[in-house]
Structures are given as C-alpha cells and as structure tokens.
Amino acid sequence: MSMTSIITGQALIGGRNVMGNGASFQAFDPSKKQAIEPAFHAVDAQQIDQACRLAQAAFDLFRATSDEQRAVFLDTIAQQILALGDDLIVRAMTESGLPRMRLEGERGRTVNQLKLFADLLREGSWCDARIDSALPERQPPRPDLRLRMIGLGPVAVFAASNFPLAFSVAGGDTVSAFAAGCPVVLKAHSAHPGTSELVARAIVNAVQICALPAGVFSLLTGTGNGIGQTLVGHPAIQAVGFTGSRQGGIALMKVAAARAQPIPLYAEMSSINPVFLLPQALAARAEEIASGFAASLTMGVGQFCTNPGVVLALKGEDFSRFYQRAVAVLADVPCATMLTSGIAGSYQRGVQNLAGHADISVLAKAQMEEGKGGPALFMTTGGAFLAQEALHEEMFGPASLLVECDDMDQLRQIAESLEGQLTATVQMDDGDLEQAQQLLPILERKVGRILVNGFPTGVEVATAMVHGGPFPATSDGRSSSVGTAAIQRFLRPVSYQNFPQSLLPAVLRDEPEFKIWRRRDGALTKE
C-alpha cells in the first residue's frame, strides 16, 4: 500500500484530516462477513457546519475560475484517482463484494465522466450565453440584455451504495456540481467508507494542485440519518444530489422543502423499469429476448436502479416460450454476495413476500443464503397487477415480475397505471410498429429514457443521456443525473442589463476571449 492510499478513518473538512467527534463504526466485508480496519468516526453538527461554511466561503472564488481552470481540475481529479492504482480497486472489492472486473470498469467510467465534463467546459456552451442587443430607436427602446448561467452555490451530495466509484465521492453528482462551479460537501455512504476516503484524498490533492480554495470539497463520514438531515438543512447548502432509497429520498425532500429557504433536491430513488414485449417480436425472438433479459436482470446481482423489474406481454404460447427460456438461464445463475447485509435482507424479504402472495406464481426462486441474493422470477395476471399497487414496488435485486396481459388494451392500461420510471423498454419488430406508436405517448409521460430492442441496464455517460424520470423515479423529472445534462441541475440564469463591457462576465462581452456558441439576437453563432 502506497502513502497516498493509507486509510485513516478521518473525515476531510476543507482539505484537512479531521477525526469525527461522533460514534465510531467500521467498514464491513460482505463476502467474508467481517469488519474491516480502521474505525471511522461520524462527524457532529459542528463539523458539518464547518464544512458547509468553508464551501460557502469558497463559492465566489471557485465560480470565478475559468472554464479551462475547472476543466484542468476535473482532469487532475481523474489523474489522482488513477494514481491510487490497485489499492483503490482492492479496497472497493473488499467493501462492496463486487468483482474486480466490474470495479475496474467502474473506475474507467468515473474517469471518463470527469473527462467528459472537462470537454463540456472547454466547449463552453453549457453557460447558455445569450445577447439581445439594445434597440434604442424602438418604442419603447429595448435595453442591452445578456444572460448566462451560474452555479447555485454549495451542493450536498449523498453517495450511492451501489456504485462505489461512479455514483459516489467523485461520481456524476460531484462532477456536475464542480463543472457548474459549485463546491461539494459529500456525505459518504457507510457501505464503503475506505473507498470514499481514498477518492476524497484524490480530490483534495487535485484541489491543492490546482490552487483552489480548500472549501471546494469536504467529505463527511458517519452513519445515521442525522448527518444527512443536518447537511440538507444547513443554510449554506443550495442544492442536493441524492441516490438511494425512496424512503430516504422522500425524507430529505421534506427537509429541503421545510427550510427557511427551500432548495432543490435531486433524488434518484426507485424504478421498476417496465419491459414491453410486443407480439411480433415475441413470436419471432422469444428465446433470444429471454436470454438477454436474464443477463440484464442478474448483472451485478440486480443491484442497478435500471434493473428490469417488470415484464409485460400478451398471454399465450410465445410468452410461455419466453419465460421457459428465462427460467432455464436463471437456473444457472448462482447466488452472489450483495452490497450490504441490509440490502440482502430487504431483497430476501421482498422475494419471500411475493412468493407467498395469493395472486403470484413462482417461476424461479434461487435458494437464498445469508447476505446473498439469487434470481427470482414471478408471474401474475394483468388484472391482479392493475388491482394491487403493492405489486408495482421496486425489489432491489435480481427479481422480476412477469405480467400476462389479456390484450393490448390491458397492456396499455397497465402502462398508464405505472408510476414514474427511469426507463421503459420496448421489444418490437416491424410488424409491431402500430402498437409501439400507441404505447409511445404513454411512455413519454412516464419515463426518462425509452429503449427499443435493448435492455435498460447499462447507462451510457453521454450528452443525450437522460437518467431521470417523473416521481418516484426521481424527485424532479426535469433533469438527468447521468451525462452532461446533469450540470443543469446546479445552475440558474442571471441577466445583465445595460452593462458596460468592462463589467460584463467574459463570456458575454462583444469580443470574448474564446469563441463559444452564443445566442445573439435569437440566432446561434460563434461570431
């Protein structure tokens, strides 16, 4: 282990190592079922306050940096994460039970995400610069108006348990906040505190290398809802990014809304990601679709927010062929360690409840072991699914519910009955076009991403990605937590009226230093 990868169990408040004043806890190896050294300590209210005040003090300096300076900062974080080498992967494997290949892939995703946002900053159009020239001759005269987006202020980020790297300390929420010029106060997830500390050190190193104010980033350690509640309630915090349970997200939405100054909270919570098997596709490719579905369902022990939790098709021979193949493929998938004992316990309880449900048939159910999750496949009728909202609830793990619909009307009725979702998938062939066209307007209202002939797991970090959707998929369906669109969550517009050139922000001057796309008198131009 190198010097940079020594884990101390401390929080990092404005770049300083600080031992939390609260209760101690340890990371846990879910594979070996044993605690891991060293002990961590929860921060107390005064330490949270300190981190938030430092973030507030850093905000004006940080947002005054050029796009190039922040791009270099993001590139430097990526370099510092890679410099942690194998120590980071080994610690993340130990804390999460996830295999090496998955975590190496996730590190690559994290680094590429940082680079993508650095590219976004260098391209410059993120700030949505607009210029409406003065029209002094018009009656009434029009003033000179110029608009750009600025960061909201310090952002509180809650790391997700299921992506210890890509949705954690240097994950999508943190990176999009940094790109927007917002300092971040990060609540580490207690499922991987050591991994969090290592990545936090990489960020702190990057802050120092780039000579940024220390309050740009702080890492808060600890378990218990009090830390999150205090953080979201702190007056310095101006926005929140959260990935986790519906219960936790809703609790924090209430805190954000009840503040003297309410703030936006972007929570990504729960989704069952319906998969619609349209008749022609099912007739032509039932077995092939079933194999793809089973792989998507069981990838990462089903611990993805985009896991295909419900499959809808017309009852009949083709759907039978589909589920027979799915059952055969799932029979070969072993039980595997889940991220935490809490997640495994709630998955197993969910599977048990469904298995004992009067309106459910069990098609497949692995023998579960402590701390592990294995595949489970259930079936119900369209009528029962429509009548019981409890059957629409997310089961976080490799379980899915097949719904046999009487006809296409009932299938559309079910689509209409669903809550907001991150994704919907349509398996279709040319002959299904009309049915797909009828389904599409419903799905557009319900979900953030609609896929044709694929599976919902695997979320590309890209410009046109939407990882979001109406409540309860997220708390605010107008945004995305993955891809460059994520920066929009932490921005707001400011308009400058009749400003002298010398006082204008650089991007809004008549002759900007760098040519970026701007909307000048209504037309997009780089001139």
Query: Could you give the residue numbers annotated as active site?
Result: 268, 305
343 binds ligand NAP (CB under 6 A): yes
Complex with ligand NAP: residue 73 or 347, whichever CB lies closer: 347
- What 3-state DSSP class applies to 399? strand
Question: Is there a contact between 50 and 104 (Cβ–Cβ < 8 Å)?
Answer: no
475 binds ligand NAP (CB under 6 A): no
Among 34, 225, 352, 463, binds ligand NAP (CB under 6 A): 225
28 binds ligand NAP (CB under 6 A): no
* CA-closest candidate to residue 36, choices 164, 192, 187, 159: 192
Complex with ligand NAP: residue 110 or 270, whichever CB lies closer: 270
Residue type for position 497:
Q
Binding mask 246-275 for ligand NAP (x = CB under 6 A): --x--xx---------------xxx-----
Q: DSSP state, 272?
A: -
Phi, psi of 91 (to 5 degrees): -65, -40
230 binds ligand NAP (CB under 6 A): no
Q: How far is CA 230 from its chain centroid?
A: 22
Among 98, 219, 305, 401, binds ligand NAP (CB under 6 A): 305
Maximum alpha-carbon separation in the chain: 80
Complex with ligand NAP: residue 59 or 304, whichever CB lies closer: 304
Query: How many positions of this chain bind ligand NAP (CB under 6 A)?
Result: 25
Instruction: Compute the distance between CA of residue 60 and CA of residue 95 in angstroms, rounded to an integer.
Output: 37
Complex with ligand NAP: residue 434 or 460, whichever CB lies closer: 460
Which of these segments, 59-67, 153-161, 203-211, 400-408, binds ligand NAP (CB under 6 A)? 153-161
Binding mask 373-412 for ligand NAP (x = CB under 6 A): -----------------------x----------------
Complex with ligand NAP: residue 269 or 281, whichever CB lies closer: 269
25 binds ligand NAP (CB under 6 A): no
Shortest distance in whole angstroms from residue 507 CB to ligand NAP? 35
Instruction: Compute the distance between CA of residue 377 and CA of residue 96 in angstroms, rounded to an integer.
Output: 25
Instruction: Compute the distance between CA of residue 12 and CA of residue 158 in angstroms, rounded to an integer.
Output: 15
Instruction: Compute the distance between CA of residue 346 and CA of residue 135 in angstroms, rounded to an integer.
Output: 64
Q: Which residues pair with 11 in a beta bridge?
A: 18
Question: Is there a contact between 466 and 483 (Cβ–Cβ < 8 Å)?
Answer: yes
Among 4, 21, 26, 223, binds ligand NAP (CB under 6 A): 223
* CA-closest candidate to residue 465, choices 100, 185, 116: 116
Instruction: Compute the distance between CA of residue 493 and CA of residue 106 in angstroms, rounded to an integer.
Output: 33
By CB under 6 A, name the binding residues for ligand NAP.
158, 160-162, 187, 189-190, 223-225, 228-229, 243-245, 248, 251-252, 268-270, 305, 343, 346, 396
